[in-house]
Chain A
Amino acid sequence: MAEKRANDRFLILDGGMGTMLQRAGLGGGERPEVLSVTKPDKITAIHAAYLDAGAEVVYTNTFGANRLKLEGCGYTVAQVVRAAVENARAAADPRGGRVALDIGPLGELLEPAGTLRFEEAYDLFAKIVRAGAEGADLVVIETMTDLYEVKAALLAAKENCSLPVWVSMTFEESGRTFTGCSAEAMAATLEGLQADAVGINCSLGPVEILPIAQRLCEATSLPVFIKPNAGLPDPETSSYDITPEKFCAQMLPYFELGAFAVGGCCGTTPEYIRRLADAAAGRIPREREVKHRSVVCTPTLVQQIEGLTVVGERINPTGKKRFKQALLDGDMDYILTQALSQQEAGAQILDVNVGLPGVDEPAMMERVVKSIQTVCDLPLQLDSSNPEALERGLRVYNGKPIVNSVNGEQKVLDAVLPLCRKYGAAVVGLTLDEEGLPLKAEERLAVARRIVAACDAEGIPREDIYIDCLTLTASAQQKEVAETLRAVRMVKETLGVRTVLGVSNISFGLPNRELLNHSFLTMAAAAGLDLAIINPNIPSMMDAVRAADLLLCRAKKAKRYLEVYADAARPQPAAPAQEMRIEDAIYRGLKAEARSCAQALLARMGELALINEKLIPALDRVGADFETGRLFLPQLLQAAGAAQVAFDVVKQEILARGKPPVSKGRILVATVKGDIHDIGKNIVKVILENYGYEVTDLGKDVPPERIVAEVEKRGIRLVGLSALMTTTLPSMEETIRQLRKTRPFCKIFVGGAVLTPEYAKRIGADYYAKDAKQSVDIAKEVLG
């Protein structure tokens, strides 16, 4: 519908519903949606007033008609939504108007800011769509501030009805939403997810929205619609400050902007819409020129692929024992440190590969994607040959990702491209097929051509295609190195797509790999490489990236180069640690010193002796001084951090030598369902690890079922549960109840601000731990 109407004239949308309810004396209640059932005539009259004023689309009175907001109102979602659609239809049918099923925010925040899961949000939205689609002409998702919530709503609408779906979000004057989403991130993500139109509504007036609307129009080829408030609210009265005349005058620039539909939001009434309709009459929406840019994004970071762009390769188990162990243990913390250290080093996109025998790859992909996006705003490249793993990752990814990878094999293209299209992902295509990897550049181009044709057929635009001409190992295929570079050039010039290479493979089996890697990277950059998949933690690789930026004049003013090297005095590597005993390094919380002491000691003594004779006595001294008030919490935690570093040295050594791990037993810790306070739990975890226990940390807001399943799977004998709120103690009790039922021999300790030893006993815990130190005593008692 939007597409058909876009060219000939402006479409006029309605104005504020809340404002009209207030005028009708129906304001003030917390749940205006119920009025659709209790006062249907009044709601129909409001719609009719807008239609008579010239609106052609009316939004149903269902802004907050979701199960969360309607709880306890006496009506079901289906009742309220159906009534609202009928009210709107009653006004629209005789007047030739159209009805938009209105969907507003759920009112609770989604994970990770809140506790509402993406899947729960999807279900809540799907319920509204299923109740209201029949009878509506389109679905409009509006006043959204969280792109993740928009994705849940948009998928729910697309998968549960066949109506066009429009989405409008609400921005602050800063040009971002409350959750930091920019107009460009919104555009890239929603165009990918195939919204039918995008827009901006609420929060600001026409003047303040205009610059943001301009940015949105430049960033998307979708039709754009705008519904501003009647200016800004008055600080004292909360009423809006511009008249219908002024509103209309301020809306004039939108007719030149390339928007296709306009209306009003809070504070606007039929009078505003009448003037707007009059002003729009006879005007034709301007055609927009949209630049097709290669973009991937998260809500807060839009990565335009312009010049050499660094894809960090470290989230991948291939050849990495420590990473494999982390995947097998479900150790998210380790994976997150890999993500963050690559970001720190200059990665702009992170490749995520979690395929490993013995690991449920689809479930792990979903978990890792969700975990990384709670702490890191870099866009992700989902790397798997398993379509189910890709789909699980794509579904929960917040933004526009890349999928790595398809190749020229028809069955791979058939399985993966529809997923990329559905979820709006960019695509990496490897130039190999059923026949294997062709050696000649021309043959690789031919495979690339087939991949591009398949993408064209699927509707994936050229700017979203990244062809990987494949780096061959120089030790085995020395001559083909030049063919790879030639292929990069040909693919770019002939097909107008972007290119990508995994660089490190070039040096496999050769000495001084670092030299070959950064030399090849420079050559590939000169050939026109766009995405370089590298290890950004190696300084010479990032040096090569920044130098190529400058020499190839591919980044604006070589900004990245100057930022790093302008102050010629580069930070020197840290001075060698002073001679120090490891006990003192830990006591004083000195990480670098603790690391070098541990390395030196490992050469002289065994892992177990180091732990039992050095680390633990040092920690005992810290613990004792903490108890007597000679040390305080900050020092205790710094000491724990230093001990953790020393422990990592031991772990690395054990993995490198293939020895069995040093473990005094495994303990599971979690903050219970509904609770998101995790500082106490984090402290307990680190201190337990310091004492040689292996800790499975399930994080916060963990359902009892997940705790029970993990305890069963790993045969865990000691569980620590944390809750900080009186409101989440019932979850703790329920978790204990479920554990007792299936794992009667498992011991449970509990802690948290509102707990007391008596209460712990009452809910069936074995132990109450007042602090982290006590949890170690409990662990010693139970596990030895």
Chain B
Amino acid sequence: MRANLHFSLPLDRREICRYLSCPAEEADRLEGEIARAERELAERAAARCTFARFPLVWGEGDALTFGPQIPLEGGDIRRHLSGCSAVILLAVTLGSGVDELLRRAAALDLAYSVLLDAAASVAAEQAAALAERQAEAALCRAGEYHTGRFSPGYGDLPLELQRRVIPLLDAPRRIGLAVTNSLILTPRKSVTALIGVADHPVAGWLAGCDSCRLREKCEWRKRGMPCGGEKSK
């Protein structure tokens, strides 16, 4: 399944500030530029998503696979999908127009380009949240429950999974989303994620700082506002 997403405005100011490593109160001072970023993003973004559902197979010991025997490695994803019998695989992109907008801004005005990049990241997150709801509505049956999103590269789930997820969803053909040799999603402002599905309530498990690669140097963590921390158990 694929769908065009209606881009949702306004963008969350608090999140934009977080990406810019500044306190949320700064949003007022930046309002003019944030509004410009919103306007330009709304004009150039063509948000699209595609998703599909696959059975989850819990094997011996730590083995966990989905779809055509694609392994899910790492403790975090196992905890996240605990109790689930299926996964919804989701891919979302804002499209290549946003990348062009970002390149253009970088050539003209560094300060604005950094703010625009932060705003585009927030827009991609908001598009992913919207896609998540569409996917659940389309692919979860009555009486089923689901977890939140969990993306490759998050916690100890290997980023290499992108290379399996993208072809499996036929993402280049369906929504114009590909992955580079270095495992970067292109267009840049894109998200892939797994959502667990179960026949009983499941909460999921968002990886906290323990398994994060950036743990030792993370400025957010030092300031006591870790990115996923407040949501994790």
* Residues in chain A within 8 A of chain B (CB atoms): 28-30, 69, 105, 107-109, 112-116, 143, 145, 170, 172, 174, 177-180, 202-203, 233-236, 238, 333, 336-337, 340, 374-377, 589, 632-634, 637-638, 640-641, 644, 674-679, 682-683, 686, 725-728, 731, 753-754, 756, 770
Contact = CB atoms under 8 A, between A and B. Distances in A.
A157 B67 CA distance: 37
A640 B110 contact: yes
B117 interface: yes
28 contacts: A30-B168, A107-B167, A108-B180, A109-B96, A109-B180, A112-B103, A115-B186, A170-B173, A178-B48, A202-B173, A203-B173, A236-B138, A236-B139, A238-B52, A375-B100, A375-B103, A589-B111, A632-B23, A634-B111, A638-B111, A640-B111, A641-B109, A674-B180, A683-B110, A725-B182, A728-B182, A753-B214, A756-B216
Contact of A340 (B22, B107, B114, B184): B107
Contacts of A340: 104, 107-108
A683 B110 CA distance: 7
Contacts of A203: 173
Contacts of B179: 108
B178 interface: yes
Interface residues of B, number: 56
Interface string B176-215: 1011111110111000000000000000000000000110
Given A145-B176, A179-B96, A756-B216, A337 B111 contact: no
**Chain A interface SS verdict (over half):** loop
A339 to B, nearest CB: 8
B178 A114 contact: yes
Given A115-B182, A178-B96, A637-B114, A107 B172 contact: yes
| Interface residues of chain B: helix, strand, loop or mixed (majority) | mixed
Given A108-B181, A235-B138, A678 B106 contact: yes
Contacts of A238: 1, 52
Contacts of A674: 180-182, 184
Contacts of A174: 46
A683 B187 CA distance: 22
Interface of B: 1-4, 20-23, 26, 29-30, 46, 48, 52, 68, 95-97, 99-100, 103-104, 106-111, 113-115, 117, 138-139, 159, 164, 167-168, 172-173, 175-176, 178-184, 186-188, 213-214, 216-217
Nearest to B109: A641
B213 A726 contact: yes
A150 to B, nearest CB: 14
Contacts of A28: 68
B182 A675 contact: yes
Contacts of B48: 178
Contact of B96 (A180, A336, A637): A180
A105 B166 CA distance: 14
A756 B217 contact: yes
Contact of A114 (B1, B20, B139, B180): B180
B213 to A, nearest CB: 6
Contacts of A178: 46, 48, 95-96, 175-176
Q: What are the 3 A-B residue pairs with the smallest beta carbon separation, nearest first?
A: A178-B176, A632-B22, A637-B111
A674 B180 CA distance: 8
B103 A374 contact: yes
A114 B3 CA distance: 23
Contacts of B26: 632, 634
A164 B120 CA distance: 43
A676 B188 contact: yes
